[in-house]
Structure 1
Amino acid sequence: MTTLTLFSPAGAVQKADALKRAARRLTALGFEVSIDADALSRQQRFAGDDAARLAALHRIADAAPSVALASRGGYGLTRLLDQIDWARIAASVERGTRWVGYSDLTALQNGFIARHKGLAMWSGPLACDDFGRSEADGGVDEVTQDCFTEAMSGALEAVGFRAPSAEFDGLEARGRLWGGNLTVLCSLLGTPHWPKIKGGLLFLEDINEHPYRVERMLLQLQQAGVIDHQAAVLLGDFSGAAKTPNDRGYGLKDAIAALRARTKTPVLTGLPFGHVRTKVCLPVGGTVELYVQGREAILGWQSDPRLAHAAHHDHGPDCGDDCGHDHH
C-alpha cells in the first residue's frame, strides 16, 4: 500500500470539507491516506504558527510516507526556510518520500534542491485545490489525477504538450529541472535558498499577476544572469489578471516578447502547469530532456527522482498522452 500524508505547511485550509473530500478520493485511488494532526490548524492566515508548521514538516520527514501532499499553498513557507532541518527532509526523499505541491511549495522545493544536487521533489497538484474540489465546481481533473497517480507510482517518465507555434522545431535540451511559481522564486534570489543552476531547464507559472509584473520579474531573472545561463525556459499558465485601460493592447505575449528580445535562451510556452485545473507532475531537481518536433514537445526523465544525475533516453510521444498533451 502506498502511504500518503496530507499536511499544511503554508496557508490555512479554508474549508475542512475540501481536505476530507480529498482524503476520500485519494483513498479511492488506492492510497493509504492519513491527515497530519495540524493540517487544519489556523493562526491568522497560516496553518498554525511557524513552530507548528515547521514541526509538521519535520514530523512528516521522520515518518517518511510514500507521498507527502500539501493541502494548499498561499503563503508561509518563506518564514520557515532558515529553520528547516534540510538533512531530515533529504533523508525522507532518500527513503522514497515524494513531496508534492506547487505555488508556495516553490520555496520548499527550490530551497531543497539548492542544497541537494542529486535529489528531487515534485511540482504537482494540491490536495484541496485539485482533489478536494466539489463536483459542483467541476470535481477532479482527469488528466491531473492520472498524471499524479502515475508519478507517485514511479511510472511517469515524460509529459507532452503542444506549443503555440513550431518556432522551436528541432530543439533538444538537457539539464536539471527547477523553478515553479515566478513570484515565489524571485523572492529567493540572493538568499541561501536560491538554486545556482546553470544549463538547467527553468519552468515558471503565476496567478493574478498583471503581464507587466510578469515581465518585470522575468527581466529581473534575465538581468541577474539567471535566464541567460539556462538551456531553456518553459512557461506555464499566467492567468487571472484583469486588463486595464492603461494597457492599450499590451498583454502577456508582449511581456514574453520583451524577454525573448533580451536572451538567446529558448523561451517556450504551453507547458500545462500552474494555477489551472489541468496540470502535470514535474520532478523539480531531476535531470530532464526536452525534445521539440514541430509544435509537439516532450519532457522526459528517469522515473526515480533519486537518480537525478542519470538522463533517460527511452521515451516517446505516447508517454505524454495521459498527462497534458492537447489539453492546455
Structure 2
Amino acid sequence: MTVEGKRVAVVAPAGVPDMDNLAQAVSLLETWGLSVSIGAHVADRFRYLAGSHQHRTGDLLAALSDPAVDIVWIARAGYGCAHVLPALPTTVPCEKTVIGFSDATALFYALRQIPGIGMIHGPTLNGLATKVDDVSRHSILDTLTGVTPAPLPLERLHGPADSIKGPLVGGNLTVLASTAGSRWQPHFRDSIVVLEDVTELAYRIDRSIMTLRHAGILDGARAIVLGEFVRCPLPAGADYSLADVLLDVLAPLGVPIYGGLAVGHGERNLSWVVGRPAQIRESVLLR
C-alpha cells in the first residue's frame, strides 16, 4: 500500500503547536507523497489551547466530514480534546485514519464508536520532524503503508510468561483516567493494554491507575504493557522506584505485566494501530 496522493488534514483540537515544527513536519509528509492542508484555526491561541472550543471543534469536524480527506493528523497534544467529544459525528463519508497520542487518547475511544475510522497511536506533527528519532518516523510511515512491524522485545515484570492474544489498546494513563464515569469511558476486557505518561508524580500515577481499576476499565484485561514514563520524578530520598509503584497498583489485577515498550513522550515513539490484534509471546510483542 502507498500513501502517495492521500490527503492529510492537520487539526489542533488540544494544545498550541509550534508553527515552525509544524512546517517542518508538513514538508516531511510532502516528501512521502502526501497532500497536506492545515485547519483554518491551527495557528490560533486561546489561553492554553489552540483556539476557542468552537474553532478547534469546527476544524476537527470539517476534516472528519470532508470526503477528500484520508488522514486526520493531530498537530499537538497537551490538553483540549475533552472539549470536542460531545460534538463528534456518528458517521463519516469515507474511511479515515486519525493519528496522535497523549491527549488524543480521549479522542480514540470516542472515535472507535464511529464506523470507518481507524486510529494510529503515533507522533503528533508538532514533534514528527524535530522531536522524535528516525526510527519513529519510519514506524509511522510503515504503519500508514501497511508494512508488517518488527517484533518488539519486552521486559516481563510480573506474572506468568504465557502467550497472550488480544487487541492492542490503551494510551496515556492520565487521559484514560479522566474518561472514567463518562460516556466515552473505554472497557479493555480481553485486551492488551498499553500505558504511558509524562510529567506526573508517582502518587498521581498511582491515583490514575486506581481510578482505572475502580471504574472497571481494566477488568478482564489480558496483559499490561508499560511504555515510557517521562519526567515522572520520585520524592527526594525515596527508597523505591517508579516500577515499584506501578507494580504495587497493577499486580492485583492478576495479569502479566511487561515493560520496555518504546511508546510515549520520549525521543522514540513507535506507532501502533489502536484495536489491532496483537500477541505477546516469549516477551516479544507482535502487532
Whether TM exceeds 0.5 here: the answer is yes
Task: Say if 2:38 is the partner of 1:48.
Answer: no
Task: Say if 2:137 is the partner of 1:145.
Answer: yes
The 5 A counterparts of 1:215-294 are: 215-245=206-236, 248-286=238-276, 288-293=277-282
How big is each residue's C-alpha offset from its partner over 1:172-203, in whole Å with a ceiling of 9 and x where there is no partner?
22223322110011010111001233111211
Aligned residue among 66, 70, 73 for 1:63: 66
Q: Which residue of 1 aligns with 2:15?
A: 11
Q: Which residue of 1 aligns with 2:286?
A: 299
Unaligned residue ranges in structure 1 (runs of 5+): 134-138, 301-328
Unaligned residue ranges in structure 2 (runs of 5+): none
Matched to 1:107, the amino acid is A
Q: 1:231 and 1:51, CA in 2 relative to 1: closer, same or farther beyond 3 A?
A: same
Q: Which residue of 1 aligns with 2:88?
A: 84
C-alpha distance in 2 between matches for 1:253 and 1:202: 17
Q: Which residue of 2 aligns with 1:105?
A: 104
Q: Which residue of 1 aligns with 2:154?
A: 163
Q: CA deviation at 1:41?
A: 1.4
C-alpha distance in 1 between matches for 2:95 and 2:115: 16
Q: CA deviation at 1:169?
A: 7.2
C-alpha distance in 2 between matches for 1:274 and 1:123: 9
Q: Which residue of 1 aligns with 2:171?
A: 180
Q: 1:167 and 1:24, CA in 2 relative to 1: closer, same or farther beyond 3 A?
A: same
How big is each residue's C-alpha offset from its partner over 1:259-287, in whole Å with a ceiling of 9 and x where there is no partner?
3441211111111100011111111133x
Report sequence identity in percent. 27
Q: Which residue of 2 aligns with 1:124?
A: 122
Q: 1:201 and 1:239, CA in 2 relative to 1: closer, same or farther beyond 3 A?
A: same
C-alpha distance in 1 between matches for 2:225 and 2:150: 13
Q: 1:238 and 1:3, CA in 2 relative to 1: closer, same or farther beyond 3 A?
A: same
C-alpha distance in 2 between matches for 1:196 and 1:205: 17
Aligned residue among 183, 197, 205 for 1:214: 205
Matched to 2:268, the amino acid is T
Secondary structure at the residue paired with 1:206?
Answer: strand
Contact 1:118 1:285 in 2 (8 A): no
Q: 1:11 and 1:24, CA in 2 relative to 1: closer, same or farther beyond 3 A?
A: same
C-alpha distance in 2 between matches for 1:166 and 1:262: 13
C-alpha distance in 2 between matches for 1:124 and 1:256: 23
Q: CA deviation at 1:117?
A: 7.7
